[in-house]
């Protein structure tokens, strides 16, 4: 990883500051490292109709993809519960669309100094991906 993992953790915690979460009060920030070296921040963005809510991780991915990035190395995700924040299932699926299951690193942050690094394959075993669509 060119960018220091500690830097990515701090970026996720800073991204959390922009969380728009008036309904849940549950603030989340993410920092996504593209293969280009650029880091994209994302926060959760809620909605009065609830279902249009977008998670921090997907905000970061959609920002990056809309800027032309399609290859990624790692993402850090930080809540503010004082516990480790693991990505939801929908966000894991979005990661699987663009990232190597074997190589993509997910950093689940509890605090600046406490975080766990996991591989996407361990967060999404038996992933359904575009290769499955080619089997018909």
- Catalytic positions, written as ranges: 57
- Is residue 77 within 8 A of residue 56, CB to CB? The reply is yes
| Distance from the Cα of residue 128 to its chain's centroid | 18
55 binds ligand THU (CB under 6 A): yes
Q: Please, what is the minimum distance in Å from the beta carbon of residue 59 to ligand THU?
A: 8
**Structure tokens given for 74:** 């790692």
Q: How many residues does the chain have?
A: 136
Q: Please, what is the minimum distance in Å from the beta carbon of residue 92 to ligand THU?
A: 9
Q: Please, what is the minimum distance in Å from the beta carbon of residue 76 to ligand THU?
A: 12
Residue with tokens 């915690």: 13
Q: Which is nearer to ligand THU, 6 or 24 (CB)?
A: 24
- In the shown chain, the binding pattern of residues 82 to 101 toward ligand THU, with x for contact by CB under 6 A and - for none, equals -----xx--x----------
28 binds ligand THU (CB under 6 A): yes
- Is residue 32 within 8 A of residue 11, CB to CB? The reply is no
Q: Please, what is the minimum distance in Å from the beta carbon of residue 66 to ligand THU?
A: 18
Strands 105-109, 72-78: pairing kind: parallel
Residue with tokens 């990515």: 8
26 binds ligand THU (CB under 6 A): yes
From candidates 12, 15, 44, 61, binder to ligand THU by CB under 6 A: 44
- Is residue 76 within 8 A of residue 30, CB to CB? The reply is yes
Q: Which is nearer to ligand THU, 25 or 68 (CB)?
A: 25
């Amino acid at each position: 990883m060119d960018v220091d993992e500690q830097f990515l953790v701090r970026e996720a915690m800073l991204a959390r500051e922009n969380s728009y979460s008036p309904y849940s009060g549950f603030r989340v920030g993410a920092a996504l490292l593209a293969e280009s070296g650029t880091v994209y921040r994302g926060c959760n963005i809620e909605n009065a109709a609830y279902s249009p809510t977008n998670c921090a991780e997907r905000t970061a991915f959609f920002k990056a993809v809309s800027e032309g990035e399609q290859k990624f190395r790692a993402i850090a995700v930080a809540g503010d519960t004082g516990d480790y924040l693991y990505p939801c299932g929908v966000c894991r699926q979005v990661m699987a669309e663009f990232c190597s299951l074997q190589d993509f690193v997910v950093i689940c942050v509890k605090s600046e100094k406490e975080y766990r690094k996991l591989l996407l394959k361990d967060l999404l075993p038996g992933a359904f991906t575009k290769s499955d669509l080619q089997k018909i």
